[in-house]
Amino acid sequence: QRYKVKDNIQTIHTKYVLDGKATIAFKKPSLNLLIKCDPIQLKGFLQTLKLGMEGKDVINLRLNTVTAMAQKSKLQTKMAINRHSDYPIKVFPRYLQSLTIDNTQLVKLSYHICSLRNLTHLDVSNNKLRKLPVELGRLHLSKLVLHDNNLGEMDDWSFLNGSKLRDSLREFDLSANDLTCLPLPVVKCHKLVNLNLNYNNLTHLPFAIRRLRRLR
């Protein structure tokens, strides 16, 4: 089916666009079209639709394209970003459980990532991070991979003081970060099983590391 866009849309309901839902109310035929798909794809679709409504270009939006998006849209729980151009401009899918951002020259971790309450696995290897936001400590991460960054430069580990992160973290990779000593807040992560400190400049380990009773 085809739907005329220009001068034919009564309203667009975008209240739940972050959940991947939007409703388009047409004048002719008089019906409401409900769209369900990935939030990022949905935003792109609505931006294209807006161009058609404003008559800025000749655009042919087919319903079967939207339907295909909806069929593939099951809640996105995993995302891997390996190029800077793939990085979301605004938001990440809110139901993400696993996020990998590898080798993208990332210098700052977005606050939006710290608001992904379902996230349990975060891998930001091979970037240029010097500091992580304290809000990261609010997440229930079980695995945090920080391999090959510059975290030893600023030596700011306040995010590890977050009680939720301390109580959930089981795998922690701090390899290749120019560390000269083990960050003391690490010993508060009492559920740690795996701790990777390869390729640093450590000369000793703190006596307090004995507190990590589950470390293997």
What confidence tens digit (pLDDT) does each residue in 149-191 have?
Answer: 999 999 999 999 999 999 999 999 999 999 999 999 999 999 9
Could you tell me whether strands 143-145 and 171-173 are parallel, antiparallel, or unpaired per DSSP bridges? parallel
Query: How crowded is residue 166: how many other Cβ atoms within 10 Å of its Cβ?
Result: 17
- Look over the chain and give the mean of its residue pLDDT values, rounded to a whole number: 88
Q: Is 6 helix (H, G, I), strand (E, B) or coil?
A: coil
Q: Which long-range contacts (CB under 8 A, 24 or more apart) does 25-32 make?
A: 28/4
Token pair recorded at residue 13? 């309901």
Q: Give the relative orientation of helices 39-54 and 63-72 as an angle to the nearest 10 degrees.
A: 170
pLDDT value at residue 50: 82
Given the structure tokens 């995993």, which residue do they identify?
78
Q: Which part of the chain has CATH 3.80.10.10?
A: 78-211
* pLDDT exceeds cutoff 90 at 205: yes
- CATH number of the 78-211 domain: 3.80.10.10
pLDDT value at residue 68: 42
**Entry field: residues in the chain:** 216
What single-letter amino acid sits at 207?
F
Q: Nearest-CA neighbor of 81 among 93, 68, 95, 63?
A: 93
Q: What is the pTM of this model?
A: 0.67
At residue 10 the predicted structure's pLDDT band, cuts being 50, 70 and 90, is confident
Per residue in 56-88, pLDDT (tens digit) is 655 555 544 554 444 444 678 999 999 887 887
Q: Identify each DSSP E strand in 56-210 by its residue range.
A: 78-81, 98-101, 121-123, 143-145, 171-173, 194-196
Strand partners, 143: 121, 171
* pLDDT exceeds cutoff 80 at 54: no
Q: Tell me whether residue 23 is exposed, middle or buried, using C-beta atoms within 10 angstroms of its C-beta: 0 to 12, 13 to 18, 19 or more.
A: middle
pLDDT value at residue 72: 43
Per residue in 84-128, pLDDT (tens digit) is 878 876 678 889 999 999 999 999 998 889 999 999 999 999 999
pLDDT value at residue 58: 53
* pLDDT exceeds cutoff 70 at 52: yes
Token pair recorded at residue 82? 């390996």
